[in-house]
Amino acid sequence: MKSDVVLIAFLLSVASPFAAQAGTAMQTKGKAFPPPAFYSFCSRQPSLCSTAGGTKVVALRPQLSAQLNEINLSVNSRITEVSDRAVVGKNDDWRVPTVSGDCEDIAILKKLELMKRGWPASALLLTVASYRGEGHTVLTVRTNEGDLVLDNLTSAVRDWSSTPYNYFARQAQGNGRRWERIGAAKSVGTTAIGI
């Protein structure tokens, strides 16, 4: 099973849409309010709320691209999407899932898995959007090829501007307890530091 996931992740990384086109970075435009359940999660799991670190943009090499695809696919296949109400009896409860969880729980697990592999917290940002009139949370990964989205609704890792979402806010780099509103896309032109 694990070898199948690794093979699929490798194939996705070779054929991924962000490998063939110039990416875009999110422009932020001021302070935003974080989701209400975010603060209680941070008091329980401060390391997963962190965006500290010097690396703001990761230089995406083939090995790292494969890791993104592997983590996205692996977590999506292991964790069943179930609402917080069904799992813990609350409308919104951010946590690290083990078997099931909703979109923000799955995004948090992806952040944890990438941090275990050496990815800097400063480049892994929890991000909120809307999709079909519902709130949705994804993990944004800041790379030299654009801001890429790891999403529980698809196995493809995509540039944020090519997703069907209306983005509202994401964690601020350097201060994960602060959130920033998301503006327009801008072409990638930042300097990246390898990990």
The structural domain count of the chain equals: 1
State residue 191's pLDDT score: 45
pTM: 0.85
49 and 37 Cβ atoms separated by less than 8 Å: no
Query: Domain range for residue 150?
Result: 2-187
Tell me the average pLDDT across 132-144: 96
In a domain, 192, yes or no: no
In a domain, 129, yes or no: yes
Helix (H) or strand (E) holding 24: strand 24-32
**CB-count exposure of residue 172 (10 Å: 0-12, 13-18, 19+):** middle
Tell me the average pLDDT across 119-136: 95
Residue 6 has pLDDT above 70, yes or no: no
114 and 65 Cβ atoms separated by less than 8 Å: no
State residue 119's pLDDT score: 95
In a domain, 193, yes or no: no
Reported as a single tens digit per residue, the pLDDT across 38-52 is 999 999 999 999 888
CA distances from 142 to 2, 39, 42, 51, 92 (A): 26, 23, 21, 12, 26
Residue 156: CATH number of its domain:
3.10.620
Q: Of all residues in the chain, what percent carry a pLDDT higher than 70?
A: 85
- How many CB atoms are located within 10 Å of the residue 80 CB? 12
Residue 19 has pLDDT above 60, yes or no: no
In a domain, 194, yes or no: no
* Residue bearing the bigger pLDDT, 139 or 23: 139
- Reported as a pLDDT band with limits 50, 70 and 90, residue 90 is confident
